Amino acid sequence: MKEALIRYFPHVDYAPCWQAMRDLTDQRTPDTPDELWVLEHPPVFTLGQAGKPEHVLNAGDIPVVKTDRGGQVTYHGPGQTVIYLMLDIKRLGLGSRGMVTAIEESIIEFLADLGIQAASRDDAPGVYVQGAKIASLGLRIRRGATYHGLAINRDMNLSPWQRINPCGHVGQPMTTLEALGIHLTREDMEQQLVTVLAKRLGLTARTAPAPDWYNNPDSTTSD
């Protein structure tokens, strides 16, 4: 199995994180280890490469960022875990479709371990529980490597989702682990999901400290 560095962040702003993902991808060599970044963002709407501005219905005070991942518009905010995957997919022996399937199946397996029956959809990437979306997915592949990744709703306020058409789907209902009766600490939930994800991708997970670019906003600002 190949080793992957797992970096946990309490909170990180979207823009510097996105730039760091691109920098890592641009600077990769065939020997660069894969990395998973596990984090939470302040409130932000992100528009993917296929994103249509009209799917942002009423952003209000939440910033909108045009980004370079696949897909339409989504929301990140407190109570949602984001996992960014910086992976050499050629080294892993995966194509783009295989990568998406592996991520979706990992989330479905993680939820099944919690007693929740979930499924993916051919027409809309992500993971759904009885029609309500609990996890979103968007990737970018460049230089044979992925960045961006997945987001799963733990115990977040769902009202900002009503300001957009999630992933371009009008009226798409959303749900959270908490709404489904699952009450895990953030740390436990993230470690369990990373364990399932790493195993399915054929990776040996090794926890690593936050990188130099990271400046914990908790130390300089307060909400």
Which residues are annotated as part of the binding site for substrate? 69-76, 136-138, 149-151
In the block, which residue shows the tokens 């968007």?
138
| Helices of type H across the chain | 14-27, 89-92, 96-113, 186-201
What is the CA angle 192-194-197, rounded to 5?
110
**3-state SS assignment for residue 200:** helix
CA distances from 108 to 28, 113, 114 (A): 30, 9, 10
Query: What distance in Å separates the CA atoms of residue 144 and residue 95, rounded to the nearest whole number?
Result: 9
**3-state SS assignment for residue 169:** coil
Annotated binding site: 69-76, 136-138, 149-151
Give 150's contacts (C-beta < 8 A, 6+ positions apart): 82, 83, 85, 103, 107, 135, 136, 137
Which token pair is 136?
């979103």
Assess whether 17 carries a catalytic annotation.
Answer: no
Which of 156, 167, 180, 205 does the annotation list as catalytic? Answer: 167
Which token pair is 149?
């990744």
Q: Which residues are catalytic?
A: 167
